[in-house]
Amino acid sequence: MKRLIGLTFAGLAFVGNLMAQEPVVMTVNNEDVTISEFEQIFWKNKKENVTNKEELDEYIELFTNFRLKVEAAEAAGLDTTNKFKAEFNGYKIQLQKPYLVDTSVTDELMKEAYYRTVNELRASHILIGVAQDADPKDTVNAYNKIMKIRDQIINNEISFEDAAKKFSTDPSAKTNGGDLGFFSAFRMVYPFEDAAYKTKMGEISMPFRTRFGYHIVKPTDTRKSRGRVKVAHIMVLTKKSATEQDLANAEQKINEIHEKLNAGEDFATLVMDYSDDRNSVRRNGELDWVEAGKYFQEFEDAAFSLKEDGEYTSPVKTPAGWHIIKRIEYQPIDNYKDLKLELKNKIQRDPVRSAKTKSSFVNKLKKEYAFSKNGKNYDLLLKKLKDSDDLSKAYITSLKNEIGDKELFSYAGNTKTIADFIAYAEPRWNKDKLLKLEDYLSTQFKSFVTNDMTEFEKTRLEDKYPKYKALLKEYRDGILLFEINDQKVWSYAIKDTAGLKEFYEAHKEEYMWKDRVDAQIFTAKDKKVIKKAYKLAKKGELRSDSIVNYLNRDSQLNIAFESGRFEEGKNEYLDAQEFQEGLNKPVLINGKYVLVKIDKKIPAQPKKLSEAKGAITAAYQEYLEDKWITELKAKYEVTVNKDVLYSIKEKP
């Protein structure tokens, strides 16, 4: 989170070629910050399009501190370290990506992916596995085999399911007959997904290849995405260490709760009284949206089975325990606009989809930079390779010596030779595994051109796209900000145990425990039950858990129990009235009968350093930062031109 804050705040955009007369908002250590530079980051962090003096004064203080810290980082040489360079280059690669693809193709792929997200497809397939680098003979054999299988199915000699069980090299086909169930965009490798969605329902595709081998696919069903559903639940937890008796008690308890629901009792009241999911109790059992893959499959299926708001399920078992699920609200899948960013990110991570956008992008670069291929020299290289059975290192060296200086292509003043191409492609050459040399050489040549032109384009991005240049500086300064903060404040405060202890001793009265008690608490809705618990506890013959087990022998809903150390304000029953040490008589609190035994009272006192280390460390870090900022302001001269600053009134 600290790094994200750094990167967000580190938004001073370097804008080149500014006119000399552009107003300067401030000067930090003799470096001017122009009004356009300042406004770019200022408005980036504001939702409103107008501002006032108070906001500007507040922000200029934060901005000054930021610039001072970056100055300190540069003075410390943090921008020259290998760690910084590696991290900055990593961000740089990510920032370059949107500028190295054809956005029109990306848009087409996003729309396609959205359709396939909304419309889930069920399909069966047969796979004949073959490695990506398999010998040509093995590749041909795999293709012929799957074509033969397809012909047998088409001619009704065998069913698709039986053929999958008999021939498919997908291990799961032996039991599922090739049925993959429902899937949507990005669930399968793109060539498979594309073939499945483009094949007509009930028909069998022609063989197609993925990295796993050759497939044929048969779409069998389609359905709309289930969307998402908001639910509340009542939960009876079953721990991993639960005994058979514990599991039986849990099942009995959820069934009894379900009976109460069926008898007309209020769902929210039953949540408060019996649910073990303490995180959702205060929200009447309400959970976050249920979506595919977010909760246990059993839970999701039950939630989506509810057809009306207010409807609830029978008890549902999951690995976490038992649930009764009530539907609150249903929403269909998000619209295209809301999913665009997620779809775009997924496309960028998909190697096949991203290759499509890259190919189109390079074609545009070829036009922009007047790309020219020397076909004569390309054909010469192909002939030399085809005429030789020897692709040894010695032969390649002789080939480079003979024709290596000949031009293969040129663009934008750059010339690439046969020697350049061989140096790129040589590590990948293996003639024994080439189905057709022409195809292989064409693939390598295309890859070389794509790589070379892309690398060239990267060098021009800062000149072509001011926003990219500004964002690059934003990330640079953000990394420096994080690193210097870590050295001077965050990590320093953790490592400086002596300083932290001294700070604690000076401020420990600010970190106090309220009055606390060690207590055991029984609660029941039936006065008779709580009286029985009181009698048993008073005798002292049974442990508390034994009392609970005894009174719950005919129903798990009779009595509940909790124990521990409770601080004032943390337990509704203990806060309701004053209890004395020892066993107190039962009382009625908030509609429940409560039996409390106070084992020990602990008066208010300062927390130990170990008990409040997080809060104290945070305060110590704040102290260190304030001290450091004071030192930086004394070291570096800062001048703010208030007239220029206050001239900022509306977003340009």
pLDDT for residue 573 is more than 60: yes
Together in a domain, 600 and 528: yes
Instruction: Let me know if residue 407 belongs to a domain.
Output: yes
The pLDDT tens digits of the residues spanning 76-89 come to 999 999 999 999 99
Counting residues of the chain whose pLDDT is more than 90, the rounded percentage is 75
pLDDT for residue 105 is more than 80: yes
Give the per-residue pLDDT at 6: 43
pLDDT for residue 15 is more than 50: no
- Region 400-415 average pLDDT: 96
Backbone region of residue 258 per phi and psi (left: phi > 0; alpha: psi in -120 to 50; beta: other values): alpha
Question: pLDDT class for 11, splitting at 50, 70, 90?
Answer: very low
The pLDDT tens digits of the residues spanning 495-513 come to 999 999 999 999 999 999 9
pLDDT for residue 385 is more than 50: yes
- Check: pTM over 0.85? Answer yes or no: no
Question: pLDDT class for 291, splitting at 50, 70, 90?
Answer: confident
- Region 238-250 average pLDDT: 92
Q: Please report, to the nearest 10 degrees, the dihedral formed by the alpha carbons of residues 101, 105, 111, 113 taken in order.
A: -70
Together in a domain, 380 and 318: no
Together in a domain, 522 and 595: yes
Work out the widest C-alpha separation in the chain, in whole angstroms.
105
Counting residues of the chain whose pLDDT is more than 70, the rounded percentage is 95
CA dist., res. 173 & res. 217, Å (int): 13
Assess contact for 238 and 247: CB atoms under 8 A: yes
Instruction: Let me know if residue 161 belongs to a domain.
Output: no
Q: β-strand 516-524 against 592-602: which pairing, if any?
A: antiparallel
Together in a domain, 306 and 379: no
Question: Cβ contacts of residue 384 below 8 Å, gap of 6+?
Answer: 399, 402, 403
Instruction: Let me know if residue 436 belongs to a domain.
Output: yes
pLDDT for residue 292 is more than 80: no
Domain-terminating residue out of 388, 423, 442: 442
Domain, as residue range, for 269:
228-331
Task: Select, from the ranges 288-292, 441-445, 490-494, the one with the highest average predicted confidence (pLDDT).
Answer: 490-494
**Residue 447 CB coordination number (10 Å):** 13
Number of domains in the chain: 3
Q: How far is CA 26 from the centre of its chain?
A: 39
Domain-terminating residue out of 398, 413, 442: 442
Give the per-residue pLDDT at 430: 59
Q: For residues 635 and 20, which has the higher predicted lDDT (pLDDT)?
A: 635
Identify residue 118 by its one-letter amino acid code.
V
Question: Cβ contacts of residue 237 below 8 Å, gap of 6+?
Answer: 250, 276, 277, 320, 321
Identify residue 48 by its one-letter amino acid code.
E
Domain-terminating residue out of 331, 363, 398: 331
Instruction: Let me know if residue 579 belongs to a domain.
Output: yes
Assess contact for 357 and 346: CB atoms under 8 A: no
Together in a domain, 315 and 381: no
* DSSP structure class, residue 581: B
Q: What is the DSSP string of 348-401?
A: HH-HHHHHHHHHHHHHHHHHHTT-EE-HHHHHHHHHHHHH-S---HHHHHHHHH
- Region 100-117 average pLDDT: 93
CA dist., res. 234 & res. 216, Å (int): 46
Together in a domain, 327 and 378: no
Assess contact for 126 and 146: CB atoms under 8 A: yes
Together in a domain, 521 and 430: no
The pLDDT tens digits of the residues spanning 182-240 come to 888 988 999 999 999 999 999 999 999 999 999 999 999 998 888 889 999 999 999 88
Together in a domain, 303 and 397: no
Query: Taking all residues of the chain, what is their mean pLDDT, rounded to a whole number?
Result: 91
Identify the CA nearest to 180 among candidates 214, 226, 168.
Answer: 168
CA dist., res. 328 & res. 631, Å (int): 56
**Residue 242 CB coordination number (10 Å):** 14
Q: Which residue shows structure tokens 């997924």?
A: 346
Structure tokens at 480: 């420096």
Assess contact for 250 and 238: CB atoms under 8 A: yes
The pLDDT tens digits of the residues spanning 152-185 come to 999 999 999 999 999 999 998 998 899 987 888 9
Question: pLDDT class for 137, splitting at 50, 70, 90?
Answer: confident
Give the per-residue pLDDT at 17: 40
For residue 415, what is the enclosing H or E element? strand 414-417
Together in a domain, 233 and 307: yes
Instruction: Let me know if residue 298 belongs to a domain.
Output: yes
CA dist., res. 162 & res. 327, Å (int): 41
Q: For residues 604 and 466, which has the higher predicted lDDT (pLDDT)?
A: 604
Give the per-residue pLDDT at 436: 66
Q: Which of 71-85, 93-107, 303-317 has the lowest mean pLDDT?
A: 93-107
564: domain CATH number is 3.10.50.40
CA dist., res. 415 & res. 433, Å (int): 31
Packed helices 466-485 and 82-96: angle between N→C axes, nearest 10 degrees: 150
- In 275-314, alpha helices (H): 278-281, 297-305
Radius of gyration of the chain (CA): 35
Q: For residues 441 and 208, which has the higher predicted lDDT (pLDDT)?
A: 208
Instruction: Let me know if residue 34 belongs to a domain.
Output: no
Instruction: Let me know if residue 565 belongs to a domain.
Output: yes
Assess contact for 560 and 553: CB atoms under 8 A: no
Instruction: Let me know if residue 295 belongs to a domain.
Output: yes
- Region 373-384 average pLDDT: 95
**Residue 506 CB coordination number (10 Å):** 10
Structure tokens at 239: 């721990």
